[in-house]
Amino acid sequence: MTRKQALQRAITLLSENPEYTEEVRILQEISDELPLTHWSDGSIRDAVEQFILDNGRVPTASDFKKRGMPPHPVIKQKYKTTLKEWLQKHYPVYKPTYEERREKYTQMFIEEYCRIKPKSQEAFNRGKSPETKGWQTVANYHRTKSWRKLLEILELPSYSDALKDREPQKFKVNFFLDVDLSCLNEPRTKL
């Protein structure tokens, strides 16, 4: 439990009794101003952990410029290291490798492809779920720019029958029967 969480719980408990109205007001002001001006190891970690609870992610270096976060020089002075190094050591963020991303996006593509059964790449991108990458992203991971080639590489069936979906072509043919072909029997002259 962070200091801010403990303070909020105390405020909640005290606010149930009208006799502590003034104390609740002052404690709420303190809670709003947390962390206080002195940055101890505990208050720094509380600020970071409160940020994680509030935002669902580890703060980036630019997040330390926001109100309620210890400034960069405090981290450098207190821990004798850069903010980036301190965050990596104490709050590491896992970054998937190229191969892990390729496998994940390919698997998501295959699942969506089988669910949608699209007749074209446009139909796939229209029907895919928001968290699934577009077909072009998956194609790039497989070093191709072609929809058909991607389906071939992943051994996926094509849901469009090229002959069935194609509009039949109509041709117009003109026949002329009154052509004078007598010139074909005349001897040719050399130039």
- Per the listing, tokens 């059964």 go with 117
The residue with greater pLDDT, 27 or 132, is: 132
pLDDT at site 2: 76
Long-range contacts, stretch 48-54, CB < 8 angstroms, 24+ apart: 48/90, 48/91, 49/2, 50/2, 50/4, 50/5, 52/91, 53/2, 53/5
pLDDT at site 98: 92
- pTM, rounded to two decimals: 0.48
Question: Helix 3-15 vs helix 21-33: angle between axes, to the nearest 10 degrees?
Answer: 160
Tens of pLDDT, residues 75-112: 999 899 999 999 999 989 888 899 999 999 999 999 99
Query: What is the number of alpha carbons within 13 Å of residue 95 lying toward its C-beta?
Result: 5
Tens of pLDDT, residues 38-73: 788 888 888 899 899 888 899 998 999 888 888 889
pLDDT at site 41: 86
Tens of pLDDT, residues 106-142: 999 999 999 999 988 999 999 999 999 999 999 999 9
How many angstroms separate the CA atoms of 14 and 9, rounded? 9
Residue 150 has pLDDT above 90, yes or no: yes
Banded pLDDT at 191 (limits 50, 70, 90): low
Residue 189 has pLDDT above 80, yes or no: no
